[in-house]
Homo-oligomer: A and B are copies of this chain.
C-alpha cells in the first residue's frame, strides 16, 4: 500500500500538520458570531419595552449600562480578533496542539457575551468584575500561549522570531494590565470598569520594556 499524500510525510499513524486556511475561516466565523450575539439582549429588551408601551427615549435612559457593556465588549472582541488576525497572517500550517489552543482561545471569546450580559443587567459587585475582567485575562492568556507555541514551532509559520517575541511581550503586558485593572476596580470601587482604560498603556509600556530588555538595541545593530 503506497501513500497518496506526497506533500506530507504521512506515515499513516495519525494527524499531522494541515493547512491553516480552514482554521482561520472557522475562527473568523466563530468570532463574528460572538460579536453579533452581543446585540441580542439589547434587541430583546427593546421588544420587551415595546410590549409594555415604553418609548425610545426612556429605553435609552434605562439601558445606558447595557449599551456601554455592548460597545465595550464589541471593541474588546474586535481587538482580540485583530491580534489573532495579525499573528495568523503568516501561519501556514496547523498542528493538533495549535488547533486546540485556538479552540481554547475561541472558548473565551464565545463565553464573553455572558459576562457582558452580567455587566449590563446585574448589580456591579466584585464577583462581576472578577468574571468580566477575568474572562479578558483568559483570552489574552490564550493569545500568549498561542504565540509561545508558535515560537517553539517555527515550521508552522513564517513569522519572524523577533516579531513573535515582541508579540509575546505585548501579551504579557496586556495580561498584567488586565490584572492591575481588576485589582483597581475592586479596591477603588469608584473607578469601576473605567480601570480598563489602563489598557491604553500597553503600547508605551511595550516600547519602554522592549528597550529596557535591550531588544531594540540588539535589533538595530543587525
Contacts and interface: CB of A to CB of B under 8 A. Distances in A.
Interface in A71-130: 71, 74, 78, 81-82, 85-86, 89-90, 96, 99, 103, 106-107, 110-111, 113-114, 117-118, 120-123, 125, 127-128
A36 B33 contact: yes
A43 B46 CA distance: 15
A1 B221 CA distance: 10
Contact of A56 (B45, B60, B122): B122
Give the copy number: 4
Interface residues of A, number: 85
B122 A54 contact: yes
Contacts of A103: 78, 82
B74 A12 contact: no
Contact of A82 (B14, B99, B158, B222): B99
Nearest to A63: B114
A129 B175 CA distance: 40
Nearest to A162: B12
B89 A18 contact: yes
Interface in A8-41: 10, 12, 14-15, 18-19, 22-26, 28-41
A54 to B, nearest CB: 7
Nearest to A42: B114
A152 interface: no
Contacts of A5: 90, 158-160, 163
A55 B117 contact: no
Contact of A40 (B37, B53, B90): B37
A12 B166 contact: yes
A105 B1 CA distance: 30
Given A53-B123, A82-B99, 7 more contacts: A12-B219, A28-B29, A39-B110, A46-B114, A47-B121, A59-B122, A74-B110
21 contacts: A1-B161, A12-B166, A22-B24, A22-B28, A22-B85, A22-B89, A26-B28, A29-B32, A30-B35, A33-B36, A34-B39, A37-B40, A38-B110, A41-B47, A43-B113, A46-B114, A46-B122, A50-B121, A55-B122, A56-B127, A78-B103
